[in-house]
Structure 1
Amino acid sequence: MNFASDNVVGASAPILEAIVRHNGGAMPAYGADPLTLGLTPRFRALFQHEDLAVFPVATGTAANALALAVMVPPFGLCLCHEEAHVMEDECGAPEFYTHGAKLHGLPGTGGKIAPDTLDGFLSGLTRHVKQMPPRALTLSQLTESGQVYTVEEIAALCRIAHGHGLTVHMDGARFANALSALGCSPAEMTWRAGIDILSFGASKNGALAAEAILVFRQDLADTLEYRRKRAGHILSKGRFLAAQLEAYLADDHWLANAAHANRMAARLAEGLGRIPGVRLAWPVQGNELFPILPDGLDEALRRGGALYYDWTSRSLPAGEAVRAGEGEEVLDLLRRGREGGDQADHRLARAHRL
């Protein structure tokens, strides 16, 4: 049982089939192929935004770092949650591609920044040349604690950020899971709420290696093509990135995968909740679980071959704590649309029984 990451299983069948299907014959290179050119109208229709600019890349780190590079100058400050992926898990890539801009983490329960926290921080800054000026806010959706920002919360944070002259980026590594949880449209969760740039994730939800930077403001898109090339993320055989994204979106495959993952997470959480001594640090809203386990159960699971991560308790809800004899662990539920039927039930049953 491997619950360590959404990335440990392979790509979904429709995406692999699309790569093979588009492998034959000759196509223009470096993104000039019909598949890549077709992504822009496809995403524009999906997000209901006629000026949306689309930049496929191979990794989420590249998507986040390049997006922030067009939003934050070298002397600027980018605000995020103190446990955000861009701050803790990207080896300084955002700082590298912004040529020295700084990430500043804000606290918040469940990996979420509260509007009052953001407004208080921005309002308390001095405006002096010695102070790095804030230029952007980045939000993780889902958060690193598996929580979902509601559309209203996103809009409130964007209003505050824009009011202080910041642009807003969304790290959508689990964008589909959040969208499935909220039941809203892609437009409502992004540009209509005030998001300026989205890192649209696909690799955690069935793709082989495909993400997209979606820019809702043309002034922010102007230099991104050059930055993407300098970063080595314009693939010579770009058709294979486009083929993945095309298959990912076709017939709502991306939404089916995410909905299945969320259902399996909820089902596993229900089973864990019936085990004496086990409780969840945060409610299950997407495809991530954070159970607080008795040490004995933790040891038994690990001896039995279960793989999952230890996790930080920094953003636990008020009044919650990991007590003596307990360990907080993270189970990133690995369920794809392709893992339906008996295979998914069998894996869930094993985890449930343990």
Structure 2
Amino acid sequence: MQFLSDNAASVHPRVWDAMRAADAPDSPYDGDALSISLDEKMSSLFGRESKVLWVATGTAANCLALAAMVQPHGGVVCHEEAHIEMDECGAPGFYLHGAKLLLAAGEGAKLTPDAICAVIDPIRDDVHQVQPDAISITQASEYGRTYRPEEIAAIRALADERGLSLHMDGARFGNAAAFLDLPAGEVAGAVDALSFGFVKNGGMSAEAIVFFDTALADVAHYRRKRAGHLQSKGRYLAAQVHAMLDGDLWLENARSANAAAAEIGGACADRLMHPVEANELFVRCTPEEREALRQQGFGFYDWGDDAARFVTSWNTREEDARALAKAIAGL
């Protein structure tokens, strides 16, 4: 019974079908019909003009988006536990040619305007210090917490006041949208670029960088090629994105994962470290309790010395979620 990660989940059958349907001659790179039509499709979904670049990984999506916003001598304000800080092996520094991550605190791995100001206000406006160029927020956050539209609007207002770009890491954007039950445009807010995640949500090997500041896409096209992410048969990546968007499969899958997480969360009581607002649960339990759960057949990651992380997926079986809920309740 697998709760290690939504990356461990299988690929949705409709994604495989879409890739098979794309298995015919077409223009190479991103000149095929599927790739070209992504701009219109995302613009319709978000209610804003957008330009879309597919890439194979979330790391590339985050870093190429930020590279289009940030100078090599600049900085990106992000949470101290953000994925770009903790889980990307220095990739932001590599793609951004040495630009610095400026780390801020915040409950639930979420940023606030005050937390951002605490980082950038002490920076002198002179050549001796790294100047902030952008802010990066994560929807849903590393602890499965969601930004409400008014929270994003407040950060956007600060970004505008300080002349900063705003990026959203949406590796679990679908789960945030499913929890908030709001249109995609409201869940994203007025960000300049969104790393729209599909791999964790039933995709195979395709993520989308959605540029709402469309001028940034012109720069990112070149950076994607230079970084080795312009795949020669891009139609297979574009096909995956289309499959996830068609009929709102991305949202259907996220709702399924969230429902499984809610089932488990209902049994955790005061063991929960954070409210369940997506498909991740952080649960207090001792090493002995974690071993007892593993002996019952549950796979998950330890989270420090006194907790565990459980992640549900689009295809988490109801009986597995119920079994884990019962096991945690019985600890």
TM-score (norm 1): 0.89
**Is 290-299 or 9-18 further displaced after alignment?**
290-299
Q: Check the 8 A contact 2:39/2:51 in 1, yes or no.
A: yes
User: What amino acid does structure 2 have at the position aligned with 1:237?
Assistant: K
* Distance in structure 2 (CA, Å) of the matches to 1:216 and 1:7: 27
Segments of structure 1 that go 5 or more residues without pairing to the other structure are 313-325
User: What amino acid does structure 1 have at the position aligned with 2:195?
Assistant: S
**Is 178-187 or 301-310 further displaced after alignment?**
301-310
Partner SS for 1:36: helix
Cα drift, residue 218 of structure 1:
2.6
Cα drift, residue 298 of structure 1:
1.4
Note the alpha carbon deviations across 1:261-302, whole angstroms, 9 max, x for none: 1111001111233xxxx6100110110000111443212112
Q: Check the 8 A contact 1:298/1:327 in 2, yes or no.
A: no
Cα drift, residue 123 of structure 1:
2.3
Name the residue aligned to 1:12.
12
Partner SS for 2:6: coil
- Computed over aligned residues only, the root mean square deviation of the Cα atoms, in angstroms, reads 1.4
* Distance in structure 2 (CA, Å) of the matches to 1:241 and 1:214: 14
Does residue 43 of structure 2 align to residue 44 of structure 1? yes
Name the residue aligned to 1:328.
307
Cα drift, residue 114 of structure 1:
2.1
User: % of aligned pairs identical?
Assistant: 43
Cα drift, residue 30 of structure 1:
0.7
1:1-354 matched pairs, under 5 angstroms: 1-23=1-23, 25-50=24-49, 52-190=50-188, 193-273=189-269, 279-311=271-303, 327-333=306-312, 335-336=313-314, 339=315, 344-354=317-327
Cα drift, residue 327 of structure 1:
1.2
User: What amino acid does structure 1 have at the position aligned with 2:310?
Assistant: L
Cα drift, residue 329 of structure 1:
1.3
Partner SS for 1:256: helix
Cα drift, residue 40 of structure 1:
1.2
Q: Check the 8 A contact 1:60/1:201 in 2, yes or no.
A: yes
User: What amino acid does structure 2 have at the position aligned with 1:107?
Assistant: A
Q: Check the 8 A contact 2:178/2:255 in 1, yes or no.
A: yes
* Distance in structure 2 (CA, Å) of the matches to 1:345 and 1:224: 41
* Distance in structure 2 (CA, Å) of the matches to 1:37 and 1:221: 13
**Is 169-178 or 35-44 further displaced after alignment?**
35-44
Note the alpha carbon deviations across 1:100-131, whole angstroms, 9 max, x for none: 00112111111011221112332232112111
Q: Check the 8 A contact 1:159/1:194 in 2, yes or no.
A: no
Note the alpha carbon deviations across 1:184-205, whole angstroms, 9 max, x for none: 2122233xx3311110110010
* Distance in structure 1 (CA, Å) of the matches to 2:212 and 2:128: 32
* Distance in structure 1 (CA, Å) of the matches to 2:156 and 2:48: 18
* Distance in structure 2 (CA, Å) of the matches to 1:217 and 1:285: 28
Partner SS for 1:290: strand
User: What amino acid does structure 1 have at the position aligned with 2:22?
Assistant: H
Note the alpha carbon deviations across 1:295-318, whole angstroms, 9 max, x for none: 432121123342222225xxxxxx
* Distance in structure 2 (CA, Å) of the matches to 1:254 and 1:219: 27
Note the alpha carbon deviations across 1:20-52, whole angstroms, 9 max, x for none: 1221x31111111111111111111111113x1
Q: Check the 8 A contact 1:4/1:332 in 2, yes or no.
A: yes
TM-score (norm 2): 0.95
Segments of structure 2 that go 5 or more residues without pairing to the other structure are none
Q: Check the 8 A contact 2:263/2:322 in 1, yes or no.
A: no
User: What amino acid does structure 2 have at the position aligned with 1:204?
Assistant: K
